[in-house]
Amino acid sequence: MALVLIGALSLGIWLYLLLARGGFWRMRVAAAPSPGRRGAASVTVVVPARNEAAVVGRAMASLAAQQYAGEFRVVLVDDASEDGTADAARAAAPGVEVLTAGPLPAGWGGKMWAVSQGVAAADSEYLLLTDADIVHPPDSVASLVARAGEGGYDLVSYMVRLRCVTAAEQALIPAFVFFFFLLYPPEWIADPGRGMAGAAGGCMLIRREALERIGGIARIRGELIDDCALARAVKGSGGRVWLGLGDRVHSIREYGTFGEIGQMISRSAYTQLGYSPVVLLGTLLGLGITYLAPPLLTLALPQGAAKGMGALAWLIMTGTYWQAVRYYGRAWFWAPLLPLIAVFYLGATVHSAAMHYLGRGGMWKGRTAAS
């Protein structure tokens, strides 16, 4: 009886995710907006960068090549880099303005402090907050501004196409995007009648007026998951938010090993759970029922109701995840392996909690979020 209940619960979860979670799994690329009159709005691009010499040149060159009719500036804020990041940026895009981040004040995260200084140097209608590893197509800024104007959005964000070349990337990156959209369904984010809000920090265009309304970057100065915190603040103030796939906006950051991706996930996983041991235990139980129970029931049991429900749940899981696998151009056999991939993410979540209690939570680029 217990196995039947587990099978029924797992199947019920996957039916809900398939039918009632905003169609997060469809991985739809929104049609490009028409340029419209908003194409002339002024834009300042703010790029925080810390030890990004390997990638910042291509990112800056792509921003320098933007075909945009309005007033347009690019400001890179060098956050205590030790590898010549600023020189690499200037060499690739001589017109870029480079600022040096000042001493980090108490209560601020390093990235947000760098972003705040770039924002303070700007005087434009829109701010494009983008990372030093993001390469934009020539019409990226025009498209973002047009989408914001067309939909009346205060914050427009693209989940950029992440690099998916190494074995670790092929195994884990499609799932990263799948899980992100599961937590933050784009359809719900765009709905002003729902409280759901989220954004992807690699590429966010925000209206200056909306940013000032929430108190500026200082509102999220200590947030580890700063992009979603920004989206919540904007939507909570009455603003409109949009999140979608940025199919032509690419991250060129390489994750060569499973450990590197694990570190990226671990950095913020426990933060997502509110640093709560109770929520952590509930999450582990939920992940087990959702992702592990279906294949275990299918493969380990003889014929019966529990096996049948487990098999159907696994089939739905595979079908929904296949959309992300296909979006990234990966082979079909990755889709039914989502349970194994979920085990990796589960382990990274436990590691995140352990690092928090060891005083090393949020470790990234050799320092914690507040250092």
Domains of the chain, each with CATH number or no CATH: 2-23+259-357 (no CATH), 33-256 (3.90.550.10)
HEC-encoded secondary structure of 25-40? HHCCCCCCCCCCHHHH
Shortest CA distance to 182 belongs to which of 349, 16, 355?
Answer: 16
Residue 364 has pLDDT above 70, yes or no: no
Strand-by-strand arrangement of the 43-49 sheet: 97-100, 72-78, 43-49, 126-130, 203-207, 155-161, 241-251, 134-135
Mean pLDDT of the chain: 92
Residue with tokens 């690329």: 29
Q: 369 pLDDT exceeds 60?
A: no
Q: Where are the alpha helices (DSSP H) in the chain?
A: 2-20, 53-64, 85-92, 110-120, 140-151, 167-183, 186-190, 208-213, 226-236, 258-272, 277-287, 293-300, 305-327, 338-357
CB within 8 Å of 106: residues ≥ 6 apart: none
Query: What phi and psi, each to the nearest 5 degrees, are found at residue 113?
Result: -65, -40
For residue 214, give every residue at least 6 positions away whose Cβ sits within 8 Å of its Cβ, in sequence order, or none: 233, 234, 236, 237
pLDDT tens, 166-211?
Answer: 999 999 999 999 999 999 999 999 999 999 999 999 999 999 999 9
Residues 85-142 have pLDDT tens digits of: 999 999 999 989 999 988 889 988 889 999 999 999 999 999 999 999 999 999 999 9
SS3 label, residue 109:
coil
Q: Which of 9-18, 148-157, 270-279, 315-324 has the lowest mean pLDDT?
A: 270-279
pLDDT at 55: 95
- Token duo for residue 316: 């739905």
Give the pLDDT score at 356.
85
- State pLDDT tens for residues 209-226: 999 999 999 999 988 899
Please state, in angstroms and as integers, the Cα–Cα distance from residue 90 to each residue in 58, 127, 193, 257, 359, following that order: 11, 21, 45, 30, 37
Does the reported pTM lie above 0.85? yes
What pLDDT score was predicted for residue 359?
A: 80
**Phi, psi (deg, nearest 5) at residue 167:** -60, -40
What pLDDT score was predicted for residue 271? 87
Q: What is the DSSP letter of 165?
A: -
pLDDT tens-digit map of 290-314? 999 999 999 988 888 999 999 999 9
